[in-house]
Chain A
């Protein structure tokens, strides 16, 4: 089945230790998104790619970086995680702007 896959489902890292979250898709969608979602809050858009064009939200901290080496894969790098970065990180894709977004299962990040 075509889908959006995020690895790992649960990630534990230490305060200040870099961590990378991954997302892959078999839908061949042009657009990929990274969201941060904290408990009982709306998803917060961090970045999105339209093909290789990278779009960074104005309020995304510099601590967060992203890479999209090809259509299928996208990575979220957190260079120096702080306690406030503990959250669910969601990857989503769609074919174009006015299309529903398809989400992966998310990675729940914990910071020790």
Chain B
């Protein structure tokens, strides 16, 4: 069974840093694009960042470019999101999601259960 389990979400002060992790199992992790998507309280889905197989490409939404870094450790079947200079508007549930095994990032399936990041003083 394909599983994605996020961790690392917590309450953090504005300007602070946080590292989210996503542990993957049940598939060949290194063969897939991987993505972070977030959902603010009562809001819709917002794509955050995507990393290609082997980390050869990384893409970010403009609002996090330069503050967040997506990375992966294929040996550990893990995806990460380093979040720096956090702002109140980064408050959201962060989902890890698997992309395709193709040359394009594609759709997201499946999704993890999410981890809550709250940025507040």
* B partners with A: no
